[in-house]
Every structure is written in structure tokens, then in C-alpha cells.
């Protein structure tokens, strides 16, 4: 960071954190309740008045200086969802028997970490409104993912059963071969309970099917066209289906291979059988009917990248609809708004900051929109 940038941060941030009047050299004033700093992971200087420690690891810190009620949100040293997932124990629980843990294919904690960060900020602001005091809230992405291990931690604490051990269920079965037929942290011990290949049999053509009762099994039999093998007495009860799971799964998959995963899902759900397709990222964005109905992905025009679908807000609010209608900003796109409108500096000081490398490296050519903002 250029010396001018350090001076700007040191002068501006303390007032912003306190929610106090902020006066720039241009005489403008403004106020802010929450300050977000994304530079801590790159070795930025500690924010004055926050007690922020750059050596703190693993996620998000919300800090306030005390009286005045400000909060500072700071992302900490470099992290990634896959790292948080691994440290939290989630990765260890995924994968197939005899193979290394595989991890998830979706960066779930990226979304969840942001959600918990917003919840912490709202809680801190509520506390400020009630007491007039700011506070320090420290939250990491890893810690916020630990509660997802709750059922398996309970299974280990109460029953002494680890989440991965010899006899770990193949595929998505609910029962470990050779172990007692009892319910566990994965849910009730039932059959069928697996992911089955579907037409045309490519790497991503799978559909999960679960029957929690004999009645649901009978519904599935009708969906399959009442094949003669399904009428065998050994499949009539849950105990029999669990005892003959291998044969049961082979027969169901012979049928499931005749249908596409979305067609199979619709047939099962219409009959009251639990079924969902296994989806890739492309499936979720382009083919999932529920996500399409929820408008989870919307097309947004980006000035540099063109028209692309981006993730919309994953929740629906009846009175204040949330929708991502703007593209991600270009680098430095809002420098003028921040420096002049928020901090109260003059246009001349903005130009000087570009000239001395505070806002953009002097050795690199500026983008056209940067030159436009300096006119």
C-alpha cells in the first residue's frame, strides 16, 4: 500500500468504526456503522482503534471500539472453503469405503460463512441499539461449519461410533454391513436407500431413491411397473430388504437405467416416493426446476464479461425482496464514490492519489473508467 493509502486508512477508519462524524480534508462529513476490510489477508495494517490482530486466523472478525457503537468486519489471513471444510471435519465424513475422503463438490461454507457474518453483524447492531455500545465479534468460517457435524458428533459421544470405520456403508446406503440394524446419525436404517444410475449412464447420471416405510416401497413397486422380482416375500418387509440390499439395489438400478434422472424423479415424487437427481453445477444452474422457480440464478450483464448467470439471494423476503441485479464491480470502479462521497475528499485529492500510487499502481495503465472518474 502506498504511504498515502496508509494515511487515508488510519485517518478515516477510526471515525467510521465509531459511527461518528467523519471529516475528510475536503470538509465533507458522513457516518458509518459497519466497516468492511478485505485487505487483512494481504497484510494490511491493523485498523486503529479496533484491536484487530493481523495474526488472527480463519475467517471473519467484527470489531467495535466501544462507545459509539461501531463494528468492523475483517476477513482474515488467506482461507478457502475447502480448507475450512477439511478442518471442521466435514471432508473426513465424505467419500467411499476404501478410498481417501473426497470432500464436497460445492463450496457450501462460502455461502454459510457469509450468512453467519451477516447474522453476527445484525446481532451486534441490535446490541448497539439497545446499549449504545460497540463490540468485538470474532467468527471464523471453520467454526461456523462445525455445527454441521452435529449428528455425527452426537453419534460418537453417545454411541462411541466414529464417522468413518471398517464397514462404512457403500454408496448411500443407510446401513453398515455386519453391524446392528439400528438408526444412526445418517437417519433411519431403511432400504432402499441409495443413489442409482440412470439413462444414459454417464458419470453424472444418478438419482437417489429412499423408501422409509413398507407403504413407500409398495408405491415404488408400482412406479417400476410391478415387476415380478419385487413381489418376492423377501422384499415385502424392511427387514427382508435390508438383508437382501445388494440384490435389491441391482434390480432397482436395472430399472432406473431405463429413465433419465429428471424423468425418474418426477415419476417417483408424483407417486409419493422420495427421489431426487444427483446434480452437477451445470444441472443446478440450467436444469433444476426448483432452483429455476426460486430464481436462484439470474442473468446479469457484466461490462467486461457479458451476460452470465449469477447466484441470486438464496432466500425470499415477503416485504423486502432481495435480488442481485448488479454485476460484481470492476477493480477500482467505485474509488471516486468512496473517496469523495463517503470520505469527503476533493477531486484534486483524488487525482493526487492516483498520481502518487495510492489508488492505483503508477506503473500500470489505468482502465478507461478510471480516467473517466478523474475528469
Instruction: Determine the Cα–Cα distance for residues 333 and 113; give it in Å rounded to an integer.
Output: 26
Residue among 169, 167, 199 nearest 277 (CA): 199
The whole-number average pLDDT for the span 75-89 is: 67
Confidence at residue 177, expressed as pLDDT on a 0 to 100 scale: 64
Confidence at residue 220, expressed as pLDDT on a 0 to 100 scale: 98
The model's pTM: 0.62
Looking at the DSSP assignment, which residues form a beta bridge with residue 57? Answer: none
Is residue 110 part of the annotated active site? The answer reads: yes
Instruction: Determine the Cα–Cα distance for residues 58 and 77; give it in Å rounded to an integer.
Output: 7
Lowest average pLDDT, out of 29-33, 315-319, 329-333, goes to 29-33
Confidence at residue 59, expressed as pLDDT on a 0 to 100 scale: 38
What is the tens place of the pLDDT at every residue in 39-72?
444 444 444 444 444 333 333 444 333 344 455 4
Rounded to whole angstroms, what are the CA distances from 182 to 6, 93, 94, 177? 61, 19, 21, 12
Confidence at residue 92, expressed as pLDDT on a 0 to 100 scale: 79
Catalytic residue from among 11, 110, 138, 283? 110
Lowest average pLDDT, out of 152-161, 213-222, 276-285, goes to 152-161
Q: Is 205 helix (H, G, I), strand (E, B) or coil?
A: coil
Looking at domain 169-278, its CATH superfamily turns out to be formyl-coa transferase, domain 3 (3.30.1540.10)
Residue 171 has pLDDT above 90, yes or no: no
Mean pLDDT (the chain, rounded): 77
What is the tens place of the pLDDT at every residue in 128-146?
888 888 777 777 777 788 8
What is the tens place of the pLDDT at every residue in 339-370?
998 888 999 999 999 999 999 999 999 999 99
Which CATH number is 33-167's, of 3.40.1160.10, 3.90.550.10, 3.40.50.10540, 3.40.50.410?
3.40.50.10540
Q: Identify the band that residue 329 occupies on the pLDDT scale cut at 50, 70 and 90.
A: very high
Domain extents in the chain: 33-167, 169-278
Confidence at residue 40, expressed as pLDDT on a 0 to 100 scale: 43
Q: Identify the band that residue 178 occupies on the pLDDT scale cut at 50, 70 and 90.
A: low
Instruction: Determine the Cα–Cα distance for residues 365 and 180; give it in Å rounded to an integer.
Output: 68
Residue 231 has pLDDT above 80, yes or no: yes
The whole-number average pLDDT for the span 63-82 is: 49
Give the orientation angle of helix 214-223 with respect to helix 261-270, to 10 degrees.
130
Amino acid at each position: 500500500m502506498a504511504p498515502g493509502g496508509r494515511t487515508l486508512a488510519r485517518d478515516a477508519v477510526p471515525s467510521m468504526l465509531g459511527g461518528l462524524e467523519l471529516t475528510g480534508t475536503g470538509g465533507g462529513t458522513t457516518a458509518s456503522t459497519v466497516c468492511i476490510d478485505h485487505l487483512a489477508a494481504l497484510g494490511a495494517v491493523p485498523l486503529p482503534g479496533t484491536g484487530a490482530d493481523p495474526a488472527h486466523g480463519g475467517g471473519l472478525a467484527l470489531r467495535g471500539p466501544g462507545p459509539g457503537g461501531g463494528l468492523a468486519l475483517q476477513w482474515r489471513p488467506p482461507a478457502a472453503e475447502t480448507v475450512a471444510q477439511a478442518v471442521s471435519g466435514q471432508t473426513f465424513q465424505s467419500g467411499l469405503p476404501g478410498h481417501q475422503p473426497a470432500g464436497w463438490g460445492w463450496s457450501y461454507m462460502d455461502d454459510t460463512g457469509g450468512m453467519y457474518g451477516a447474522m453476527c453483524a445484525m446481532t451486534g447492531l441490535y446490541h448497539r441499539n439497545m446499549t449504545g455500545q460497540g463490540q468485538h465479534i470474532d467468527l471464523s468460517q471453520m467454526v461456523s461449519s462445525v455445527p454441521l457435524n452435529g449428528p455425527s458428533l452426537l453419534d460418537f459421544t453417545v454411541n462411541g461410533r466414529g464417522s468413518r470405520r471398517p464397514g462404512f456403508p457403500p454408496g448411500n446406503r443407510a446401513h453398515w454391513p455386519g453391524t446392528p440394524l439400528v438408526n444412526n446419525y445418517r437417519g433411519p436404517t431403511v432400504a432402499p436407500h441409495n443413489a442409482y444410475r440412470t439413462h444414459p449412464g454417464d458419470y453424472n447420471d444418478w438419482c437417489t431413491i429412499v423408501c422409509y416405510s413398507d407403504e413407500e416401497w409398495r408405491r415404488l413397486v408400482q412406479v417400476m411397473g410391478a415387476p415380478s422380482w419385487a413381489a418376492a416375500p423377501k422384499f415385502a418387509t424392511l427387514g427382508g430388504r435390508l438383508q437382501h440390499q445388494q440384490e435389491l439395489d441391482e434390480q432397482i438400478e436395472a430399472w432406473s437405467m431405463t429413465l433419465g434422472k429428471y424423468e425418474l424423479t418426477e415419476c417417483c415424487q408424483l407417486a409419493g416416493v422420495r427421489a431426487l437427481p444427483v446434480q452437477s453445477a451445470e444441472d443446478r444452474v440450467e436444469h433444476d426446476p426448483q432452483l429455476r422457480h426460486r430464481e436462484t440464478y439470474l442473468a446479469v450483464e457484466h461490462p467486461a464479461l457479458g451476460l452470465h448467470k449469477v447466484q441470486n439471494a438464496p432466500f425470499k423476503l415477503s416485504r423486502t425482496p432481495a435480488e442481485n441485479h448488479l454485476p460484481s464491480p470492476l477493480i477500482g470502479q467505485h474509488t471516486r464514490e468512496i473517496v469523495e462521497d463517503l470520505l469527503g475528499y476533493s477531486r484534486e485529492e483524488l487525482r493526487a492519489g492516483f498520481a502518487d500510487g495510492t489508488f492505483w499502481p503508477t506503473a500500470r495503465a489505468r482502465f478507461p473508467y478510471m480516467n473517466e472518474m478523474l475528469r
